[in-house]
Amino acid sequence: MHFEDVVKERRSIRRYKDKFVPLSLVGELIDIAKHAPSAGNLQNWRMIIVTESDMRQQLAEASMEQYWMVEAPVHIVICNDYDKVKDHYPVMGKMYSIQNCAAIAYAIMLAAHDAGLGTCWVGAFDNEKVQRLLDIPDNIDPEIILTLGYSDDTKNPQLRDQIKYLCFQEKWGAKFKKFDNEYDGVEKRIKFEMNKLKNKLKPIKKKAKKKK
Ligand SMILES: Cc1cc2nc3c(=O)[nH]c(=O)nc-3n(C[C@H](O)[C@H](O)[C@H](O)COP(=O)(O)O)c2cc1C
């Protein structure tokens, strides 16, 4: 897929087909995603690949009862092995270690979408429960659960804020120079939907004219 399409088309998938995902494919995705950046290249991410349905059920329960998660044949529990990062960066280490996990999580999501798979980032879970369920030692934090599987959902690209609301030029508060893409985000979507409506109305208007 084209990179822009991968990024724009990826959506959070919460409905999955009952279709097996080979572990070799999960490995391939992570093999791509491991090229994500990490502070000091410390790569403190560790991943537990959960496929067993009883455990997926328990993980869903530990995730504030988000039972839709069970449908996903694979859960990737991204864990933070932060000791080394804290040793290298005594002040910022804890934060860096979490950011590193976020970087690989998103890389997995994009690699998965490119490979025709759906994912959802789950951040709402009880850390201690997940630790207990998966025998995760005390010095390792589960940060993110990614659900993974073949999507059973059709979703349009998500609306995003316009660039002019996201960026400043050179300093905080200074307007960002005009962006080429006038119809970024919401405006682009409104224009698209308006055109769709206009096209639908065309034959109706034609009929009405003929009747006159
Ligand atoms: C830090 C973080 C935590 C999230 N936690 C959850 C979650 O617990 N459950 C869930 O269904 N989605 C969760 N999401 C997914 C967001 O709801 C989703 O990314 C957002 O609504 C944008 O939709 P999109 O991913 O389809 O573009 C989380 C996303 C992030 C980045």
Report how many domains make up the chain: 2
| Residue 78: how many other CB atoms lie within 10 Å | 23
- For ligand 1, atom 9, which residue shows the shortest CA distance? 122
The CATH number of whichever domain residue 79 belongs to comes to 3.40.109.10
Domain that holds residue 168: 163-211
pTM above threshold 0.85: yes
DSSP secondary structure, 144-207, as one string: EEEEEE-B----PPPP---HHHH-BSSSTTSBPPPPS-TT-HHHHHHHHHHHHHHHHHHHHHHH
> Listing from the earlier edge strand, what are the strands of the sheet with 74-81?
45-50, 74-81, 140-149, 118-122
b/e code 122-132 from CB counts within 10 Å (16+ = b): beebeeeebbe
**23-33 helix and 93-114 helix, angle to the nearest 10 degrees:** 130
Residue 193 and residue 102 share a domain? no
In a domain, 45, yes or no: yes
**12 Cα–ligand 1 center, Å:** 7
The CA-to-CA distance between both ends of the chain, in Å, stands at 50
Same domain, 168 and 145: no
Whether 49 and 134 map to the same domain: the answer is: yes
Q: What tens-digit pLDDT sequence spans the chain (212 residues)?
A: 999 999 999 999 999 999 999 999 999 999 999 999 999 999 999 999 999 999 999 999 999 999 999 999 999 999 999 999 999 999 999 999 999 999 999 999 999 999 999 999 999 999 999 999 999 999 999 999 999 999 999 988 888 888 888 999 999 999 888 776 655 556 666 777 788 888 889 888 888 888 87
156: in domain? no
Which residue do the tokens 């959506």 mark?
11
Residue 155 domain-assigned?
A: no
Asked whether the CA dihedral 79, 12, 71, 150 is positive or negative, the reply is negative
Q: Using CA positions, which residue lies closest to atom 1 of ligand 1?
A: 123
In the chain, the amino acid numbered 140 is I
CA–CA distance, 107 with 114 (Å, rounded to integer): 11
Centre of ligand 1 from the C-alpha of residue 37, in Å:
21
Same domain, 28 and 123: yes
* Residue whose CA is at the smallest distance from ligand 1 atom 30: 121
Tell whether 158 is covered by a domain: no
Distance (angstroms) between ligand 1 centre and the Cα of 103 equals 15
